[in-house]
Structure 1
Amino acid sequence: MEPPVDILIDGLPATPADLAHQALVNYGAYTSFRVEAGAVRGLDLHLARLEQAAVELFGDSPGEDELRRLMALAVGGRDACWLRVSLFSPEIGHRAPSFVGRPRVMTVVSPAPPPLATSARVMSLPYEREAPHLKHLATLGLIHARRAARAAGFDDALFVDRNGCVSEGALWNIGFVQGDRIVWPQASMLAGVAQALIQRGLAREGLVSERRPVALSDVAAFDGAFLCNSATPVCPITAVDAVVFQPDPAILTRIAQAWTAQPPQILG
């Protein structure tokens, strides 16, 4: 049985027409995160993501104050939950794409999901998401890639761009470990919130980082790799194709502590 969800549109119960549009038109963007005691790690980053997407996709934004109000309303008195915040417009469709204006806000509250995995073997696949800098609703390509990786005996898919460089995972960012240095791939990709939170705390853990192009052929030169997203702050990658890594618990703990050190921010 699927876990219960509560869906609101601009703070009111979703109507069948609202949900029909969402099912038929995948034009929009979203962000999602864990809420604990009314607070969220990286809330400022999630809000900035929504603001950027709203202006780029619709030409207007609900604004931070309204987004915060709708998020807090959706969460209500829950002590812990998972919140997805989506932007869409019923005025935009396949035959009528030209509307410019403030998007509507859909909030979906559900139980927090478990981490993606405790370790992952990933298969590289040539794929570049459409408008990769946005966390948008078009997910056929990434789901298709995950299916292909699973069918080949791997846990997940790692995307490689047209230049043969690593970009991102299907639902996550990747970091490579080289001694006390974290290397983030430089490519067209979604800048993840978990990735940014880890980055903020690395110096506190005595780690340095850099962002540079990482060719798929360079992967074997690293000491290790990990994936991260809002549901999975740190998960060791034990293989990329035929390249096998032995996870280092000490460095993974330091990376996880870099994330944990970022304090949750109150919604309201």
Structure 2
Amino acid sequence: MSSDMNTGERVAYAGGEFVPEAKAAISILDHAVLYGDGVFETVLAWRGRLFRLDDHVRRFLRSCAAVALDCPVSGERLKELVMMTVRANGLADAYVKWILTRGSNGTPLMDPTGCVPNLVIMARPYIDRSSATGLRVKTVAIRRPPGQVLDAHVKSLNYLNLVMARIEARAAGADQALMLDVHGRVCEAPGFNVFVVTDGVLRTPRHDVLRGVTRDTVLRLAAELGRQVDETDLELYDAYTADEVFLTSTAGGLVPVVEVDGRRIGGGEPGPVLSTLQDAYLEALSSERWSTPIAGGVTGP
């Protein structure tokens, strides 16, 4: 199938070619299926541009190196394939995910010898995960594993602890989970980094967290806006007493939190620091400084 032909059916890259998404498949013996063995990355396309694509590709290749997984294409070729996938789906605003599985060696055994990695790329219309009124979050019993167990810098396919954290929070009636590390310090929300604002100072956890691209963007934008920023250890006290709390992710952007464990944060509505950062972030999304044009253009709405 031509990667430049938008037939109205979703198109994915799998098995070294572009195919209808419904026909994209991996083996049931793939170690991704058997053991959650693989890595992934997510990037946002906005107004025909891919936000911080180079940074996402570099982080993806670092994840590959950390788990001894050889990517079958170069970083430059990967960027081309991502662009081609977005183009093939005719999208200007898109949620783009690529996955590299360990592959299969024809047996259901854990030994990875002989496995051939498989690259999968998909693009969907942008999924708006923002909240105008803010989220109610709850700390959960499930802890974020320390780096000695599974380094949070690796975006691996083994996200079961994050899924269990979300299940626990939803069962308690909360919108989202707040995860602590094994020492009881504030760590992350599933799929999100955490920020608190107290007396105008912006702080975010530094231990056992993914170095999110959106997290990094917020730190840089805040510094440019003259805000004091600090990567540090945060206790629950810091979240409970903050003037503002918000979450960040590639898919969700900047999301306000208005309640933590039943405690109202600030005035119980999105705060002014977040509002200023959101404006700067939205401007950055499609700026030449921060984003890469999708070569060949798109035909999205």
Q: Give the structure-2-normalised TM-score.
A: 0.79
Whether the aligned pair in 1 keeps the contact of 2:247 and 2:256 (CA below 8 Å) is yes
Q: Which moved more, 1:155-164 or 1:110-119?
A: 110-119
| Superposed CA RMSD | 2.4
1:124 aligns with 2:146: no
For structure 1, which runs of at least 5 residues remain unmatched after alignment? none
Letter aligned with residue 100 of structure 2? L
Task: Give 1:16 deviation, angstroms.
Answer: 6.4
Moved over 6 A (4+): none
Kindly provide the CA deviation profile for residues 168-190 of structure 1, in whole angstroms up to 9, marking residues without a partner as x.
00121110001222101121011
Residue in 2 that maps onto 1:266: 293
TM-score scaled by structure 1?
Answer: 0.88
Report how far residue 39 of structure 1 moved.
1.7
Deviation at 1:195, TM superposition (A): 0.9
Q: Does 1:12 align with 2:18?
A: yes
Q: Which residue of 1 aligns with 2:220?
A: 200
Give, in angstroms, the shift of residue 17 of structure 1.
5.4
Give the whole-Å Cα distance in 2 for the aligned partners of 1:36 and 1:224. Answer: 27
Q: 1:101 to 1:215 in 2, by over 3 A?
A: same
1:255 equivalenced with 2:270 (yes/no): no
1:123–1:153 distance in 2 versus 1, CA, 3 Å: same
Look up the match of 2:298. Answer: none
Bigger Rg, which one: 2
Letter in 1 for 2:112: S
Which amino acid letter does the alignment assign opposite residue 184 of structure 1? T
Confirm or deny: 8 A CA contact 1:228 1:234 kept in the other structure: yes
Q: What SS does the corresponding residue of 1:107 show, helix, strand or coil?
A: strand
Tell me the number of residue pairs that the alignment of Structure 1 and Structure 2 aligns: 265
SS state at 1:144 partner? helix
CA contact under 8 A between 2:44 and 2:95: conserved in structure 1?
yes
Distance in 2 of aligned mates of 1:34 and 1:23 = 26
* Counterpart pick for 2:160 among 140, 154, 162: 140
Give the whole-Å Cα distance in 1 for the aligned partners of 2:116 and 2:43: 23
Q: Given residue 89 of structure 1, which amino acid in structure 2 is its aligned partner?
A: R
Partner of 1:67: 78
CA deviation digits over 1:87-143, x for unaligned, max 9? Answer: 113136751433488833210111211115331111112411443222211122211
Which amino acid is 1:128 matched to?
Answer: R
Name the structure 2 match of 1:89: 102
Deviation for aligned residue 1:235: 1.5
- Confirm or deny that 1:41 pairs with 2:51: yes
Tell me if structure 1 keeps the 8 A contact 2:95–2:251.
no
Q: How far, CA to CA, are the matches of 1:122 and 1:33 in structure 2? A: 25
